[in-house]
Each structure stands twice: as structure tokens, then as C-alpha cells.
Amino acid sequence: MKALLRWFALLLLALLALQLFFVARIALMAVTHPQSTTFERSEAWRLLQEKDPLRWRQQWVDYDQISDHLKRAVIASEDDSFAWHEGVDWDAMEKAWQKNLAAEERVTKLAANGARAVRPPKIVGGSTITQQLAKNLLLSGERTLLRKGQEFVLAFLLEKVLGKQRILELYLNHVEWGEGVFGAEAAAQHYYRKPAARLTAGEAARLAVMLPRPRYYEKLPHSSYLADRAGVISGRLWRAELP
């Protein structure tokens, strides 16, 4: 019993040390720009192993050098309650959970009725911009309850330590927009041959719609879904509140 308690105490100490490490990393981001994220490093290694590493594109630009159109488009597309939540949007997560359950039930019924080549259900996410930043900055891409729980903790810490504007600035400078394309400046140059500060509302909307599947839409620039969804986001820009 004593040995079990000792191991439990050591586990708690290790968990506490990990949280203190994360707090220190986040506090440092308040005054310095992180050169890379965990996700970017994993992608850089993958490209080094599989393809030409020279395809890497990234350039930091400050918050005021990114078009307000892009800021609004990303908020409207990815996290329309960004200005108000504290890191996690519980309502959005509940809706995503319900959609995923309904999709799984439909697939199960089709399979039970003898349907062939049933596609797996499309998984809908409910992560906020803050959660996505927490995952990309500091965590692995594995989908486990433990990793998700840590993501919640980090999202709360990011909100408390950095604030909304810094979170959005970090997110826009490190989010993936194509294979080896990271950040708003790299995306603007890659797709439109212009700086991020000069993106129009339509261009910003198309970039925002690409975010859930950037490498997929990079290969399908004339996708009808991309065009239709970008039109919807363009019409919602005025509602997106900037920090």
C-alpha cells in the first residue's frame, strides 16, 4: 500500500511539474515570438523525410500587419464566440458531440441494412481558436482523453496569461495553410502573391475556409464548396468581433 501511495505521489508531482513547465512556456510567449510549434516541428521532420524540405514557408508578422479581413474571417469560420469564451466553448462542443453521434448512428443503420462501401462518419470538431493554438503549440496530435484534458487546461492558461489579441496573433502566425505553408504571411504570398496586410475580404474568406483541411484544399483551389463557403463567410465578416 505504501509503495502504491508513493507511486501516486510521484505521479502527481510529475503532473504538477509538467503544468509549471507549460505555465513558464506560455508566460515566455507573452514577450517573445515562438520560432516554431510542436506541430510545425513534426511537419518539418516529415517533409525532411518524404519531400523537399525547401518547400517550407513561414514568416512572422505583427498583429497590425495582418488584414482585419483575415482576422474576422478566421473568427467567423473557426470560432465565432472567440471574443467571449474563456478558452473553451462548451455549447459548440456539445453540438459537435451530438452531430458526431448522429453521424455514427446513420452509418451503423446503413451497415445493419446491408449497405456496401459505407463511408466512415465525418467527425465534426468543437475546438476554439485557443484550443487549436494550445494543441499546435505544445501538444501532440494524438486523440486521447488525456491529451484533450491537457488541451482544456492549456486553453484556460493561454486566455489568462496572454489575452485574446496575443492568442489570435500567435494563431494566425503559426496555423497551417498548406503543405509546408504556415502563418498568414506565408499563406498570402503562396496563394495571392501579396502581403497578409493587403488581403481582401474575399481572399481572406477563402483562406479561412481552408483551415480545417488546408492540404486538401490546396490541391483543389477551384472547389465549389470552397467558393460557396467563402461567400457565406464573407457575408458574416461584419459580425466577427476583433480583440
- Tell me how far apart the alpha carbons of residues 19 and 106 are, in angstroms, rounded to a whole number: 40
pLDDT at 123: 44
pLDDT at 24: 87
Per-residue pLDDT tens listing for the chain (243 residues): 776 777 777 778 777 777 888 888 899 999 899 988 989 988 888 888 876 666 788 999 999 999 999 999 999 999 999 999 988 887 766 675 666 555 555 545 555 555 555 454 444 456 899 999 999 998 876 677 777 888 998 999 999 999 999 999 999 999 999 999 999 999 999 999 999 999 999 999 999 999 999 999 999 988 999 999 999 999 999 999 998
- Tell me how far apart the alpha carbons of residues 211 and 91 are, in angstroms, rounded to a whole number: 21
Whole-structure pTM value? 0.84
pLDDT at 144: 74
Instruction: Give the angle subtended at the CA of 221 by the CAs of 217 and 222, to the nearest 5°.
Output: 125
- Tell me how far apart the alpha carbons of residues 85 and 178 are, in angstroms, rounded to a whole number: 28
Domain positions in the chain are 39-48+56-89+126-239
Question: By 3-state DSSP, what share of the chain in percent is helix, strand and coil, each rounded to 5?
Answer: 65, 5, 30
For residue 54, what is its C-alpha cell?
525547401
- 3-class state of residue 10 by DSSP: helix
CATH class of the domain at 39-48+56-89+126-239 = mainly alpha
pLDDT at 55: 76
Burial class from Cβ neighbours inside 10 Å (0-12, 13-18, 19+) for residue 80 reads middle
User: For residue 60, what are the contacts with CB-CB under 8 A and spacing of at least 6?
Assistant: 33, 173, 183, 185
- Tell me how far apart the alpha carbons of residues 225 and 212 are, in angstroms, rounded to a whole number: 13
Per-residue model confidence as pLDDT tens digits over 53-107: 667 889 999 999 999 999 999 999 999 999 999 888 877 666 756 665 555 555 4
pLDDT at 115: 54
pLDDT at 110: 53
pLDDT at 124: 44
Alpha-helical runs (H) found in the chain: 2-29, 38-50, 68-78, 90-112, 129-138, 145-161, 164-174, 184-192, 201-210, 214-218, 224-236
pLDDT at 120: 45
pLDDT at 35: 87
